[in-house]
Amino acid sequence: MLQLVLFRSIPTPPTVTVDDAPGETDPGAIRYVSASCPAETYPEYRARYYINEGALGSWSSWSTTPSTTASMWFGEKLVVEVEARCISDWTPEIPGTEGPPATTVNPPWIRPIPAPAAPLNVKHDNGGTSTAKADRVLWNAVVCPTNTVASYNPNRSGVGYAGWRSGLTYNVATAYGTRYTYTVIARCSSPYTTSPNSAQSNETGWTTPIPAPSTASLWVSVPYEAYTGDWFSVNAGGSTCAWPSNTFYDFTNSRDGLTPTDRLVGGRGNANTSDYWSSTGWVTYSVKVQCRTADAISDWSGWKSDGINIVNPPAPPAPGSVGSSSGTWTRYCGNSGFQGTADWAASPGATSYNVQVNWIQTNGLPAGWTGAGSTSGTDVTVNQSGDVSNNPRIELRVQAVGAGGSSAWTQVSIDASLGCF
């Protein structure tokens, strides 16, 4: 009686482990370990399982081997139920002496998916146009185990990872003239698990081209006419440089090819320079533009032109209001000359003034016009030597001189005093 109770003892429920297999199609070993059975007995095991979804299959035969095998793909789910019982060597001869089984249903085990290789041949494709603003990045598919699917996560400099996707392309808006770099990682997934991420792909870089600016909208403007020696403005605008590029203006002219500032950075707006000429004639100014960023330069636009006529300025008008500015003019004693001061109103455009005098000599005849000096101001002190009568009548005239020539003379008569000094 004691023996019968001993033989029907219940073992400790077995512990179940799963050993993965190295190859994709190699069967994995399901191992289960029981606590020891009572003395003079030993454990037997049987198992049943299902893969992914479904019902448990048929029990395996009882066996003293604490393991079985199951073939499954990477990423599949395995559910195992194991029973153990205690028997003795002569239990089969005495029916009913086997111990009742202890059962373990193992939590689902998911076969891990290995990480795929890094994606290859990452490259950009802008749709076949050299000025496309939308960039498309392409890469080759990775190989994932059977019954798993690949997904990809592209990374662009300045943006970061764009999110997982199943396709082999990444469409992204870009800015003209900007360099971007791209990398891609991959992973393999089943309905039950996901592999570790692959290594990062090799980096590929691309700079978005800048379209050449439009010539049609470009303009350059100069005055119709300018005087020799006078500075004038040369203005340009109408650039169509796409953001974020800046506009570079190239000014030229038909005389010496370059203005004092050949190339100007006009930002994305207009630009100007200035010029002057010392000789007369027609001068044509031309401008073209180019768009630039730190990473790219566009082609030049065509030229736009405008012309200016360089002419001599007109002669200044004759001075006005010529007169004595310090009272009476006086002759030198001994009739050897005279002195006095005259002034006049300024003439627009005059840079200097010529002064001449004429007087009556002791013989009663005029001496003739004689230069009394040149000045840039509007007054002059005359100290004239020569034969002069006792009561002379002095003639004084003033002429304005400018870049465009000399004016007519403005003349005035001055009576010298009867005395002398």
- Out of 88, 110, 132, a domain closes at 110
- What is the rounded CA–CA span in Å between residue 260 and residue 227? 18
> Is residue 117, in this structure, part of any structural domain at all?
no
- Out of 207, 227, 250, a domain closes at 207
> Is residue 330, in this structure, part of any structural domain at all?
yes
What is the percentage of the chain residues whose pLDDT exceeds 70?
81
Same domain, 349 and 382: yes
Same domain, 280 and 342: no
Same domain, 327 and 303: no
Q: Which residue has the tokens 């004689």?
A: 370
Same domain, 203 and 136: yes
Indicate whether 192 pLDDT > 90: yes
Q: How confident is the model at residue 33 (pLDDT cuts 50, 70, 90)?
A: low
Mean pLDDT for the stretch of residues 400-405 = 89
Same domain, 10 and 103: yes
Taking only the tens place, the pLDDT of each residue in 199-239 is 999 878 888 888 888 888 888 888 889 988 889 888 888 88
Same domain, 127 and 77: no
Same domain, 138 and 179: yes
> Is residue 214, in this structure, part of any structural domain at all?
no
- Identify the domain containing residue 252 by its residue range: 219-311
CATH number of the CATH domain containing 101: 2.60.40.10
> Is residue 381, in this structure, part of any structural domain at all?
yes
- Out of 83, 110, 137, a domain closes at 110
Taking only the tens place, the pLDDT of each residue in 230-240 is 898 888 888 88
Same domain, 306 and 330: no
Residues in contact with 266: Cβ distance below 8 Å, sequence separation at least 6, in sequence order: 236, 237, 239, 246, 247, 248, 249, 289
Mean pLDDT for the stretch of residues 71-97 = 73
Number of domains observed in the structure of the chain:
4
Find the angle CA(81)-CA(106)-CA(72) to the nearest 5 degrees: 80
Same domain, 11 and 101: yes
